[in-house]
C-alpha cells in the first residue's frame, strides 16, 4: 500500500495537528489516528475520528451528570452486565469514523449493514484509480463441498497460477478500456466504469456507533464470512480493542467466544450433565446440528 | 427479456392462484401482480406483494376503527394535506414488495436507500447468469461539461460502435473466465465472481414502505440521477400510480412538480411581484442559482 | 373492553368485506383480521393487515421466480437454517400491521423499538378518552430486592386496596381536570393533556417486519420485561404463531427457548462434561453469572 | 434550574478537564461543553460530546485523505451546494451528543425521530425526582379555531390562574402519592410511576448525526410544532450555529427560510410574473393553499 505524495502530505499534516479539548480522549486511539492499517493488497482502514470511550458507555447507562465512572472495577462490572443482558443502547453512545479502501465486492457485503453513515468515492464524479484486488495464491480455494457458500481445499500451485493469470489479464484489459473510453471518445465516467471488475478498489468514509459496529464484527469476523471482508473486520477489531478495552473484553467473552444453544441443544446438555447417554436419534437435533453441538462442546 | 421455461411456469402458476381475503385489495395492482415490466436490455421490475391502499393512509392518519374513508373527496383532501405538510408517517402504512433484476452498478446506487428490506441473489452461493448490460447507442454520451456527474452530447455512430465493442468484448471475456474458473479448477464462487464487470445483472427482492418509496422516486426519477436507474424508477412510478392514485397525484403536485426556493430566491420573487427589477448582483444568489431560478420561473 | 356502537359497526363492516386476491393468504390470520384481543383492563391488539407467509420467507431467501416452496418439509428446514444462522433478512419480507390500545407508560417502552412504522392518536388534535389502567390486585408487588428493575412479593390485600385507591383517585381527578380545562376556559388540547397520568390509554397503528417483530418479542416476552408490556407481547406471539407457524416454531426453538453461553460458561460446561468438578472460584464467572448458569443447566 | 451539589461538582469536574487531541475541535463548542442551557421551568439541554466540524462535511464529500479544506470560501460553496441539492450524507459525518431534561409529553414527540441514539433515565430502576412542568401564564391559550392542533388566543389572567391551580394541584397530589407508594407499601417503582403526570420531567442522553438533527430542527423549530418542544429546538439551534456555522447558514437559507411551492403554486407565480391576473378560482389551489401562498409571497 503506497500513498501518493499528496496523500502522504495530507496525512502528515493531520497527524501533526494537536488541539486542547474538554472531551474525553483515548490515548491509544490518538496514537492510531489517521494512520492506515493495510488490508489485502491495496486496501486499508484508518481511524478519522471517534466519540466516547468506555466511561461514556457507563455515563449513558446511568444518565448521569458526571463522567459516570466510580471505579474502573465498577465500570467493568456494569459494562459486562450491559453486554450480557443485551442492554445495547449505552453502546450506541460511542461513535467511530473510518476511512476505508476496499474492493467493490467487499463493499457490497459491507453496505448491507444499514445503520451506519457512508460517503463513497463517486465513479460518476471522479475517475477511478487503476487498482484491483488479486488474491494471494494461498487464498485461492475450491468451492466448499459441505457448505454452499464457502471455500474448501487450497488450489495447487499450477491451478493458482492459471487463476491469477486470468483474473489479472481481464482486470488489466478492463482498466485499459476504461482509460481509453474516458480519454478517447470522452465517454461519461458513469458509463465508462460499468466494465470495471468487482475487484476494483473503491473508498469510503464509514461512521458507525459502537453497538452496530460490534454487530458488524460479530458477523464479519465469523468464520462463515468471506475471507476478504474478514481481513477488514479483524483490523477494525484491533482498533476497537484499543479504543474501548472494557467493552471489547465483554464482547469477546459474551459474543465472539460465546455460543447460542437451541432449546433442544440445551436439553441435550442438561441430560448429559445428569449422566444420561444421549444419541442423535433421541436428541431432537438434525444430524447437522448434532455435529455442530459436538464440535462446540469439545471446544 | 426472456424467461426460462421454469421461471415462466412459476410465473404462470403464481398468476393463476386466487384467494379470498378480508384485506383491502387494489384491482389495478392485482392485474399487475408478478408480471415483469422490462427495464434496460435484460432487467425488470415486478410486483410480488403489496399492503394497503389510499384508504389505509387515511385510516392510519385517523387511527380509526374502520377503514377511515368517509368519501373519496374527503380522502383526497386529507392525503393532499398530509403530503403538503410533510406528515409522512401515514404513508409508511403502505408497503410494496418488488422483484428486480438490475445491473450491479445500478444496484450499488439503489442500496444506498437504507430504509428498505433486501434479499439479493448470492454470488457466493449460486452461479451468476451470463447477462450484462450494454447501453443502446443513443444512450452513450460524453462527460458533461457543466456538471461533473452527468452526460453531455451523444456520441457519434462510430464512437458508439467502438465503445460498445470494447464493453462487450471485455464483458464476454470476463464471463468466459468466470465459467472457466468454476468449471476448470473449481474455484470457489465467491472468488470467481470478483472478475465480473459492474454491468453484470443481479436480482433482489426489495420491500419498502410508501413514504420511503416516494423519497426514492423523488431522487431517482430526477434528471440528475443516472439514466439507467431512472429507467427503473420510472417503471416503479407507474406501479405506484396504479396502486395509490390519490397519494401519487399529491406526490406529483407537491414533490415531483413542485420546487423549493431558498430564502434569497423567495425574496427575489417577492420583489419582482412588487414590480422591482432585480439583478443577479443584488439578488443574494450565486450566478448558478440565479440561472436555475430563471429556468424554474420560466417553466 | 367495550367498543362504541360506531366502532363496532366499523369493525363489523371490515369483517364482512371479502375480495379476491392473487397474493398469498393465511387462513388462520384471515379469521383473526380486525378482531381485538383484549389486553389489560381496557387495551387490545388487533391485526389490520399482513403481507407474506412462511413461503414468502423461503421465496426471498431463494430470490426465486415462483413461490419458493418445494415441499413443506424443505421449507421448514430452510427456515430453521435461516433462524439458526441469523440470516435475518428473509424474515424482513413479511410485514404485520396492528392496531393497539395501550397505556402510555407501555407505549413509552414499546416505541424504543425504532425499526417500525407508527401512527399514534394525537392528543394535540383530538380529545383523549377517559380511560386509564388500573392493575389487578394480584399484579401489585413490592420492589424486587435482587433486581433493581423488577417486582418482588405481591402486596397484601390491605396494601393493594390502598394502592388502588390512590391510583384511581388521582387518575379520576386528573381526567376531571382535563375535561374541565377543555370545556371551561377552552384550554388548547396540547396543554390540557399534560396533567393526565402515564396510565392513560392511547392508541396507535404499528407496522413492523417479521424480523424486527421477533426481536421485539424476544425482549418483551422475556421475564425481565415489565408485566404490562408482556401481556401485549404474549398476545402478539399468538398472532405470529397463527400467521407463520414454521418461523414461529424456529423462533421458539432457537431464540425463546434457547440460551446464550459466555466463553467462560461454555468452558464450565465443557469441563463438567469431561467429568471435572468446577467451582465458582475457578470458573471465571461472577457469583451472579454462576447462579444464572446453574439455573439454566438445571432447566 | 438548580443543580444538586453533587451534580454541580460533577459538572465542574468535567469542565475542568482538558486533554490534547489530534481530532478537529471547535472552540465555540468547547466553551459550551457540559454547560446546561435552561429550557422551560426545570429543563435544560447541554452538549456532552461532538464529532466533526464544517470541514468534516467537506472532507467526507470529497472522500479525501486530508482535511478537505482548500479555502473557507471553497468549503462554504461546497456546503451550500450539498444543502441545495439535498446531498445529505456528508452531513451525517458530524455527530452531537446532548443531555436533555424535558417533560415526558415533550419526550414523546421527540422520540418519534427514530434515527438517533437514546438512553433515558429509567423509572423502573430509579426513583423519579419531584419535578413537573407548569406553563407560564402567558403560554396558556385556547384551542385554535383555524387549526385543529394549535393554540389560539392567550387566556385571561383569571382563567390562567385557574388552569395553573388545577395543573399544580393534581401534579403535587400525584407526586405525593408516588412518594407514599414507594415509601409506604414499597410498591415496585415500575408500578408506582404510572400515576405520574405527563408533565413530569425525565432525562436522556440523545446522540444524533447532523443531517438528522437538522431534519429534527426543521420540524421542531417550525411554528406548527408545540411551543414546549420549540423551546428545546431553538436552544439546540444556537448550539448548531456555534458548532458548524457554514452548515447552519446553508440550512437557514435553503430550509428554514426557504419554501416549497407545489406545481400549481409555481404555475401561479409564473403567470403573475408574466403579468397575468390570477384568481383563486383559476389557480388550481384550494382556498387554504391560496391563502398560504398569498402570505408566503407577501413575506
Reported ipTM: the value is 0.95
Q: In this predicted structure, what is the pLDDT of residue C128?
A: 93
Q: Which residues in chain B have Cβ-Cβ distances shorter than 8 Å to D263? A: 252-254, 256-258
* Residue in chain C nearest D187 by alpha carbon: C142
The reply to whether residue C150 touches residue D185, judged by beta carbons under 8 angstroms, is no
> Bridge-partner residues for C100, per DSSP?
C45, C204
CA distances to B198, C7, C54, D168, D199 from C177, in Å: 66, 27, 50, 11, 14
Q: Which residues in chain B have Cβ-Cβ distances shorter than 8 Å to D269? A: 269, 273, 297
Residues 6+ apart with CB under 8 A from B44: B1, B36, B37, B38, B99, B100, B101
Q: What are phi and psi of D165, to 5 degrees?
A: -60, -50
Give C177→chain B minimum CA distance, Å: 25
Q: Which of B89, B263, B297 is opposite residue D258, by nearest beta carbon?
A: B263
The reply to whether residue B191 touches residue A108, judged by beta carbons under 8 angstroms, is no
Give C108→chain D minimum CA distance, Å: 7
- Cell numbers for C166, please give them: 390512590
| Binding-face residues of A in 64-103 toward C, CB within 8 A | 77, 80, 84-86, 89
Q: Can you tell me the mean pLDDT for C53-61?
A: 94
Q: In this predicted structure, what is the pLDDT of residue C72?
A: 67
> Bridge-partner residues for B154, per DSSP?
B141
**Per annotation, catalytic residue among A193, A220, A230, A255:** A220
Give C122→chain B minimum CA distance, Å: 9
Cα separation, B98 vs A154, whole angstroms: 39
Q: In this predicted structure, what is the pLDDT of residue D282?
A: 95
Q: In this predicted structure, what is the pLDDT of residue C1?
A: 66
DSSP one-letter string for C15-59:
HH--EEESS---HHHHHHTT--EEETTTEEEEEEEEE--HHHHHH
Residues 6+ apart with CB under 8 A from A255: A83, A214, A218
Nearest to D272 by CA among C16, B94, B269: B269
The reply to whether residue B273 touches residue D269, judged by beta carbons under 8 angstroms, is yes
Cα separation, D66 vs A34, whole angstroms: 9
CA distances to A124, C227, D53 from D69, in Å: 22, 55, 11
Neighbours of chain C (3+ CB pairs under 8 A): A, B, D
Cα separation, B127 vs B56, whole angstroms: 41
The reply to whether residue C194 touches residue D198, judged by beta carbons under 8 angstroms, is yes
* Residue in chain C nearest B121 by alpha carbon: C63
- Helix (H) or strand (E) holding D189, with range, is helix D189-192
8 Å CB contact between B179 and B130 = yes
Which residue ranges form the domains of chain C, and what is each CATH number? 5-133+199-256 (3.30.1360.170), 263-298 (no CATH)
**Beta strands at D95-103 and D43-51: parallel, antiparallel or unpaired:** antiparallel
Cα angle value A279/A284/A289 (rounded, 5°): 85
Q: Which residues in chain A have Cβ-Cβ distances shorter than 8 Å to C218? A: none
Q: Which of A143, A159, A197 is opposite residue B188, by nearest beta carbon?
A: A143
CA distances to A255, D68, D253 from D72, in Å: 46, 11, 18
- Cell numbers for C216, please give them: 421485539
Tally DSSP H helices, then E strands, for chain C.
12, 9
Active-site residue, B15 included: no
The reply to whether residue B33 touches residue C25, judged by beta carbons under 8 angstroms, is no
Q: In this predicted structure, what is the pLDDT of residue B150?
A: 85
Cα separation, A24 vs D206, whole angstroms: 17
Nearest to A206 by CA among D228, C143, D89, C60: D89
Task: Inform me whether the C-beta atom of residue D193 falls under 8 Å from chain C C-beta atoms.
Answer: yes
The reply to whether residue D185 touches residue C148, judged by beta carbons under 8 angstroms, is no
Neighbours of chain D (3+ CB pairs under 8 A): A, B, C
Band the pLDDT of C199: cuts 50, 70, 90.
very high
Q: Which residues in chain D have Cβ-Cβ distances shorter than 8 Å to B267? A: 299
C2-40 pLDDT, tens digit per residue, is 788 888 998 999 999 999 999 999 999 999 999 999 999
- Any idea which of A65-79, A168-182, C199-213 has the lowest mean pLDDT? A65-79
Cα separation, A109 vs A230, whole angstroms: 11
Cα separation, C141 vs D186, whole angstroms: 8
Q: In this predicted structure, what is the pLDDT of residue B2?
A: 74
8 Å CB contact between D229 and D109 = yes
- Identify the residue among D14, D31, D205 best suited for mutation to test binding to A, counting A beta carbons within 10 A and taking the highest: D205
The reply to whether residue D297 touches residue B269, judged by beta carbons under 8 angstroms, is yes
Is the four-CA dihedral B176, B177, B180, B186 of positive or negative sign?
A: negative
The reply to whether residue A33 touches residue D22, judged by beta carbons under 8 angstroms, is yes
Give A123→chain B minimum CA distance, Å: 9
The reply to whether residue B261 touches residue D259, judged by beta carbons under 8 angstroms, is yes
DSSP one-letter string for B115-182:
SSEEEEPPTTTSPPPS-B----GGG-EEEPSS-TTSEEEEPPHHHHHHHHHHHHHHHHHHHHHHHHHH
**Per annotation, catalytic residue among D46, D220, D230, D255:** D220
Give B267→chain D minimum CA distance, Å: 8
The reply to whether residue C135 touches residue D191, judged by beta carbons under 8 angstroms, is yes
Q: Which residues in chain A have Cβ-Cβ distances shorter than 8 Å to C262? A: 84, 253-254, 257-258
| Binding-face residues of B in 145-164 toward A, CB within 8 A | 148-152, 155, 159, 162-163
Share of chain A above pLDDT 70, in %: 97
* Residue in chain A nearest D51 by alpha carbon: A51
Band the pLDDT of C68: cuts 50, 70, 90.
low
The reply to whether residue A254 touches residue C266, judged by beta carbons under 8 angstroms, is no
The reply to whether residue D209 touches residue A117, judged by beta carbons under 8 angstroms, is yes
Q: In this predicted structure, what is the pLDDT of residue B146?
A: 73
Q: Which of B105, B149, B173 is opposite residue A125, by nearest beta carbon?
A: B149
Q: Which of B253, B267, B269 is opposite residue D269, by nearest beta carbon?
A: B269
* pLDDT tens for chain B, residues 1 to 299: 678 888 899 899 999 999 999 999 999 999 999 999 999 999 999 999 999 999 999 999 988 666 655 666 789 999 999 999 999 999 999 999 999 999 999 999 999 999 999 999 999 989 999 999 999 999 999 999 877 778 999 999 999 999 999 999 999 999 999 999 999 999 999 999 999 999 999 999 999 999 999 999 999 999 999 999 999 999 999 999 999 999 999 999 999 999 999 999 999 999 999 999 999 999 999 999 999 999 999 98
Tally DSSP H helices, then E strands, for chain D.
12, 9
Q: In this predicted structure, what is the pLDDT of residue A207?
A: 98
Collapse the DSSP code of B184 into the 3-class scheme (helix H, G, I; strand E, B; otherwise coil) and give the result. coil
Task: Inform me whether the C-beta atom of residue A219 falls under 8 Å from chain C C-beta atoms.
Answer: yes
Cα separation, D100 vs D47, whole angstroms: 9
8 Å CB contact between B264 and B285 = yes
* pLDDT tens for chain D, residues 1 to 299: 678 888 899 899 999 999 999 999 999 999 999 999 999 999 999 999 999 999 999 999 988 666 655 666 789 999 999 999 999 999 999 999 999 999 999 999 999 999 999 999 999 989 999 999 999 999 999 999 877 778 999 999 999 999 999 999 999 999 999 999 999 999 999 999 999 999 999 999 999 999 999 999 999 999 999 999 999 999 999 999 999 999 999 999 999 999 999 999 999 999 999 999 999 999 999 998 999 999 999 98
Cα separation, B67 vs B62, whole angstroms: 10
The reply to whether residue B266 touches residue D299, judged by beta carbons under 8 angstroms, is yes
* Residue in chain B nearest C35 by alpha carbon: B65
Q: List residues of C with catalytic annotation.
A: 220
Share of chain C above pLDDT 70, in %: 97
Cα separation, B30 vs B35, whole angstroms: 10
* Residue in chain B nearest C66 by alpha carbon: B10
Q: In this predicted structure, what is the pLDDT of residue C67?
A: 60
Cα separation, A278 vs A272, whole angstroms: 7
Cα separation, D49 vs D55, whole angstroms: 17
- For residue D140, count other CB atoms closer than 10 A to its CB: 25
Q: Which of C151, C188, C196 is opposite residue D198, by nearest beta carbon?
A: C196
8 Å CB contact between C199 and C102 = no
Share of chain C above pLDDT 90, in %: 88
Band the pLDDT of A231: cuts 50, 70, 90.
very high
Give D272→chain B minimum CA distance, Å: 7
Cα separation, C136 vs C134, whole angstroms: 7
Share of chain A above pLDDT 90, in %: 88
- Helix (H) or strand (E) holding D190, with range, is helix D189-192
* Residue in chain C nearest D170 by alpha carbon: C174
Cα separation, C210 vs C214, whole angstroms: 6
8 Å CB contact between B270 and D299 = yes
Q: Which residues in chain D have Cβ-Cβ distances shorter than 8 Å to B266? A: 257-259, 296, 299
Collapse the DSSP code of C250 into the 3-class scheme (helix H, G, I; strand E, B; otherwise coil) and give the result. helix
The reply to whether residue C198 touches residue D193, judged by beta carbons under 8 angstroms, is yes
Amino acid at each position: 500500500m503506497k500513498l501518493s505524495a499528496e496523500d502522504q502530505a495530507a496525512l502528515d499534516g493531520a497527524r501533526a495537528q494537536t488541539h486542547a479539548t474538554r472531551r474525553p480522549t483515548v490515548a491509544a486511539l490518538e496514537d492510531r489516528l489517521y494512520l492506515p492499517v493495510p488490508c489485502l493488497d491495496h486496501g486499508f482502514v484508518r481511524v478519522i475520528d471517534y466519540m466516547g470511550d468506555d466511561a461514556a458507555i457507563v455515563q449513558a447507562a446511568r444518565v448521569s451528570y458526571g463522567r459516570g465512572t466510580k471505579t474502573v472495577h465498577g465500570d467493568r462490572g456494569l459494562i459486562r452486565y450491559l453486554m450480557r443482558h443485551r442492554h445495547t443502547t449505552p453502546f450506541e453512545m460511542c461513535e467511530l469514523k473510518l476511512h476505508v479502501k476496499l474492493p467493490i465486492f467487499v463493499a457490497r457485503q459491507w453496505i448491507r449493514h444499514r445503520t451506519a453513515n457512508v460517503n463513497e468515492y463517486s465513479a460518476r464524479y471522479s475517475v477511478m484509480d487503476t487498482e484491483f484486488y488479486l488474491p494471494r495464491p494461498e487464498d485461492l480455494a475450491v468451492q466448499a463441498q459441505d457448505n454452499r457458500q464457502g471455500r474448501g481445499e487450497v488450489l495447487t500451485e499450477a491451478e493458482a497460477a492459471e487463476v491469477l493469470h486470468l483474473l489479472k489479464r481481464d482486470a488489466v484489459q478492463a482498466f485499459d478500456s476504461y482509460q481509453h473510453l474516458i480519454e478517447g471518445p470522452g465517454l461519461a465516467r458513469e458509463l465508462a466504469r460499468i466494465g470495471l471488475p468487482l475487484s476494483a478498489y473503491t473508498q469510503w468514509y464509514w461512521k458507525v456507533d459502537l453497538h452496530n459496529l460490534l454487530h458488524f464484527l460479530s458477523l464479519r469476523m465469523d468464520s462463515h464470512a468471506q475471507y476478504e471482508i474478514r481481513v477488514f473486520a479483524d483490523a477494525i477489531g484491533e482498533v476497537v480493542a484499543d479504543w474501548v478495552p472494557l467493552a471489547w473484553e465483554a464482547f469477546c467473552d459474551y459474543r465472539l467466544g460465546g455460543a447460542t444453544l437451541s432449546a433442544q441443544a440445551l436439553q441435550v446438555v442438561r441430560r448429559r450433565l445428569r449422566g444420561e447417554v444421549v444419541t442423535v436419534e433421541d436428541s431432537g437435533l438434525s444430524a447437522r446440528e448434532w455435529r455442530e453441538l459436538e464440535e462446540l462442546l469439545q471446544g
